[in-house]
Amino acid sequence: MKNTAFLLSGLLCLSACLPNKSEPETKQEAFRPQYHFTPQTAWMNDPNGLVFYEGEYHLFYQHYPDSTVWGPMHWGHAVSPNLIHWEHLPIALYPDSLGYIFSGSVVVDWKNSSGFGSDSQPPLVAIYTYHDAVGERAGRNDYQTQGIAYSLDKGRTWTKYKNNPVLANPGIIDFRDPKVAWNEKSKQWVMALAVKDHIEFYGSADLKQWNKLSEFGKSIGAHGGVWECPDLFALVDESGNTRWILLVSINPGGPQGGSATQYFVGDFDGKSFMPQDTLTRWIDYGADNYAGVTWSDIPQTDGRRLFIGWMSNWQYANVVPTQAWRSATTLPREIMLIKKDPVYELKFKPASEIKSIIKDAKNFSGKGPLERPVALIEFDAGAQDFTLTLSNESERVIVSLHNQEFSIDRTSSGIVNFNADFPAIHRMDVGSVEVRNIKVYLDVASLEIFVNDGERVMTEIVFPERPYNKVNLESLRPEFTIASIASIWKP
């Protein structure tokens, strides 16, 4: 994470790298995604405070408005009616005397348990980590605590609670990223908190007073790095079976090195999480899907569990070759519970809203043109090996399946020399998965590959100097389609 070199380059970059905010936005800068969320300017990392309220999906995010590298964290803010088109709003939370505002969540406090609103006006309550950089520099170990803030105007303005912090630090350096949800079984708010190498669950009646309920994970899952950004929620499968899901991000120690997110399926009795087995499973086998969590308060009539991740990796997030801003989110994805007897697994597929900007699928065999730098490429691999190449004259990204090993090769994908870990071939063993439907969502600087509508996923960023303009599919079944994806920016 964050070292002083980044901070220094951030300060040097301050005047030179940031555009004048009063200039008209063209959104055609090099590498500006055309259908993924990006901050208008400056640095972004984790999505935070995902909540749906009164017809708006809120997306807060870790943000340093004064530079394109990580620094004192704020919560940036955007809202959307459809998860695709985003309206940027003013910064929601600024650092204060207790520290920077690290990752956290937002809930609708429907019954006004916190007393911040009224019966007719439920407050939105943000629960986040304070990171006290002064305490950190002084060598203390208790510099991360949890604070809360509330909004009575649909998230536009926030008031911090006067008695913050609400959860003090017991003397553990990594103590952060609270994700809170109402739990019907134990009739209380339950917070999942990342504590160094495990998750701690805390309970509260009013979002202010928190009691420790249990711990999970010290001896299970991947432990190649620190645990971060948990999320706990229930999912129901097609047959009506309910299981509890715990997402846990880890950095480093992911399947491709660096950052990644693992998940556990199990049961939660309102206090403790019990996993179904001891296998480590990943939500995405690509290098660039981190710190993702899910939206709270999606109406029951919708019923989906919607997820979004940060499309980068701490290995190189601070040095990717964009100018005015750094980082994008993944596509919003729906998480589904699938029975794979005798256990359960997850599937992640793009939220159906994306269909509204996809059109004109054309058929090709073997070769096809990419007329625009954004497209959806789709084919049925028929459980056979294949090699799919997206290329321009001198750059290419290669996606292939050989002997049940799926891989993405970005060694010659464009600009790769900004970091030694970036140019790599990333592999995933698909095991017993019969690889059929492949969807590749290509944006200007990313590929999201969904195998069998999300049974396996690989998300990778790339920086081609010119758009890839050709598709080549080598396979016993070389038929594929290319559909266009409309830009979310006004022309």
Enzyme catalytic residues: 46
Separation in Å, CA 205 to CA 209, 210, 244, 246, 425: 7, 8, 21, 22, 49
Q: Which is nearer to ligand FRU, 73 or 320 (CB)?
A: 73
Distance CA 361, CA 115 (A): 52
Kindly state the smallest distance separating residue 295's Cβ from ligand FRU, in Å: 18
Distance CA 278, CA 220 (A): 6
Distance CA 236, CA 196 (A): 30
Nearest Cα to Cα of residue 63 among 85, 39, 86, 29: 39
β-bridge partners, 90: none
Q: Which is nearer to ligand FRU, 158 or 344 (CB)?
A: 158
Distance CA 60, CA 107 (A): 13
**Residue labelled with tokens 């996809």:** 358
Q: Which is nearer to ligand FRU, 255 or 454 (CB)?
A: 255
Q: Which is nearer to ligand FRU, 37 or 468 (CB)?
A: 37
Q: Which is nearer to ligand FRU, 152 or 173 (CB)?
A: 173
Distance CA 263, CA 480 (A): 32
Neighbours of 257 (CB within 10 A): 16
Contact between 457 and 433 under an 8 Å Cβ cutoff? The reply is no
Kindly state the smallest distance separating residue 130's Cβ from ligand FRU, in Å: 10
Contact between 107 and 127 under an 8 Å Cβ cutoff? The reply is yes
Q: Which two tokens stand for residue 304?
A: 């989906």
Distance CA 413, CA 390 (A): 9
Q: Which is nearer to ligand FRU, 177 or 409 (CB)?
A: 177
Torsion of CA 457, 84, 410, 400, to 10 degrees: 40
Kindly state the smallest distance separating residue 1's Cβ from ligand FRU, in Å: 5
Peptide bond preceding 342 in cis form (omega within 30 of 0): yes
Q: Which is nearer to ligand FRU, 34 or 68 (CB)?
A: 68
Kindly state the smallest distance separating residue 446's Cβ from ligand FRU, in Å: 18
In a 3-state reduction of DSSP, which class is residue 171?
A: coil
Exposed/middle/buried for residue 488 (C-beta within 10 Å: 0-12, 13-18, 19+): middle
Kindly state the smallest distance separating residue 167's Cβ from ligand FRU, in Å: 14
Q: Which is nearer to ligand FRU, 213 or 229 (CB)?
A: 229
Distance CA 459, CA 75 (A): 25
Kindly state the smallest distance separating residue 285's Cβ from ligand FRU, in Å: 19
Contact between 320 and 310 under an 8 Å Cβ cutoff? The reply is no
Kindly state the smallest distance separating residue 94's Cβ from ligand FRU, in Å: 14
| Displacement of CA 216 from its chain's centroid (Å) | 22
**Percent composition of the chain: helix, strand, coil (DSSP 3-state, to 5):** 5, 50, 45
Kindly state the smallest distance separating residue 131's Cβ from ligand FRU, in Å: 7
Rg of the Cα atoms in the chain: 22
The residue type of 417 is N
Contact between 301 and 314 under an 8 Å Cβ cutoff? The reply is no
Q: Which is nearer to ligand FRU, 228 or 395 (CB)?
A: 228
Kindly state the smallest distance separating residue 277's Cβ from ligand FRU, in Å: 26
Residue 135 phi/psi, 5-degree rounding, is: -60, -40
Instruction: Provide the binding-site residues for ligand FRU, judged by CB under 6 A.
Output: 1, 45-46, 62, 73, 102-103, 129, 176-177, 228-229, 291
β-bridge partners, 35: none
Nearest Cα to Cα of residue 443 among 303, 349, 359, 328: 328
Kindly state the smallest distance separating residue 419's Cβ from ligand FRU, in Å: 17
Q: Which is nearer to ligand FRU, 292 or 454 (CB)?
A: 292
